[in-house]
Amino acid sequence: MADTAERPAQSGLMERPPTPEEIDSAAHAATAIAVAMELDGGLKVSGENGDPVSIAPEVGKLIIELLGHVSNGNMVTLVPVGTMLTTQQAADMLNVSRPHLTKLLKEGKIRFEEVGKHRRVPLMALMQYREEKERRQEQAMRDLARLGQEFDNA
């Protein structure tokens, strides 16, 4: 695989991991923005004609979170909440195969909509499934730990 420095400049962080320079830049930017927000109670940047523009604290937090992912070397994709995903996109987000995702859809574990011959998965339905799965896994780990303690005490 080619070194990240040899990749085309137009290739964005949705298609490739960040370069070491981008990681360093994101880390410094996240820190600078966090400090500026703490000092000013928000973020102020220069807009058109040099006029100051205030960025709301919640938007600033999103920017810091985004930069944090980049500074950890992660590829980043922004997806609006109301987005409808293809089955391949949904499978990629869950880190499962598309056939496995299709099985989950057919079993009714994840809500989807038919668009012509294609299935589309609402992002919110996918996030709900992922959160429920994480809760089930955490509960299973607690149950396993409890059983282990009971076994040790027997």
Question: For residue range 14-47, what is the model confidence (pLDDT) as tens digits?
Answer: 778 899 999 999 999 999 999 988 887 778 888 8
- In terms of phi and psi (left: phi > 0; alpha: psi -120 to 50; beta: otherwise), the region of 112 is beta
Give 102-143 pLDDT, tens digit per residue: 999 999 999 999 999 999 999 999 999 999 999 999 999 999
Alpha helices in the chain (DSSP H): 20-40, 57-71, 87-94, 98-106, 123-153
What does pTM read for this prediction?
Answer: 0.57
